[in-house]
Amino acid sequence: MLKFVIVSSILVALGLSIELTFELPDNANQCFYEDLKKDVDTVFEFQVVTGGHYDVDLIIEDPNGKVLYKDTKKQYDSINFKAEVEGTYKACFSNEFSTFSHKIVYMDWQFGDQNALHAAVTQGAHAMTQLENYAVAIGDKLRTIDDYQTHHRLREATGRKRAEELNERVMIWSLGQSAVVVFIGIGQVFLLKSFFNDKRTRY
């Protein structure tokens, strides 16, 4: 039982992740900070869920101000890097190029070696038992399932938002077409009425 608790603690300690969905207003710049130790593997993923043309600017800097990643007007991306120095790392999203479009952005910041669990356990004083092997396998499967569910939720949210926007445009177009048909019908009625009025005047 004690071995199982140790394995569970290592699972939590070695693989940490921060997931966040936030609103990025127009003409805004929003930054996030994370303290990382040296030689820690990091995966940073983001995706614009809704808003405008589904694009933002992103820049990632290390504690010394060195730019690790910089790109403009991206809808989604995945960045892998290793922390070269220990300190506070910064990721800044920018929507300053947009004058009226609010964005909903999802970010996932994973840090720590997800595969280091096997080495950490096998380097101990005992070999892994069958229960510990099952715990490791379950942890790997759960992380994979969580990633799949997150990406499916994001795609569903993006597709739903685009469908709602398309539905709104179709409704506006339909109302415009209906108004044009009604206007033409009224105009034809008045035009026919004017023909009869001219005949009466002649007689």
**Residue 159: both structure tokens together:** 């597709």
Domains and CATH numbers, the chain: 2-129 (2.60.120.380)
| More confidently predicted of 75 and 196 | 75
The amino acid at residue 93 is F
- For 61-72, how does the pLDDT look when each residue is reduced to its tens digit (9 = 90+)? 999 999 999 999
Q: String of b and e for 45-64 (b: at least 16 CB within 10 Å)?
A: bbbbbbbbebbbbbbbbbbe
pLDDT higher than threshold 50 for residue 3:
no
pTM: 0.62
- For 130-182, how does the pLDDT look when each residue is reduced to its tens digit (9 = 90+)? 887 788 788 878 877 877 787 787 778 777 877 888 888 899 999 999 999 99
Beta-sheet strands, E only, within 15-86: 16-24, 29-36, 41-50, 56-61, 67-74, 76-82
- For 24-47, how does the pLDDT look when each residue is reduced to its tens digit (9 = 90+)? 998 889 999 999 998 888 999 998
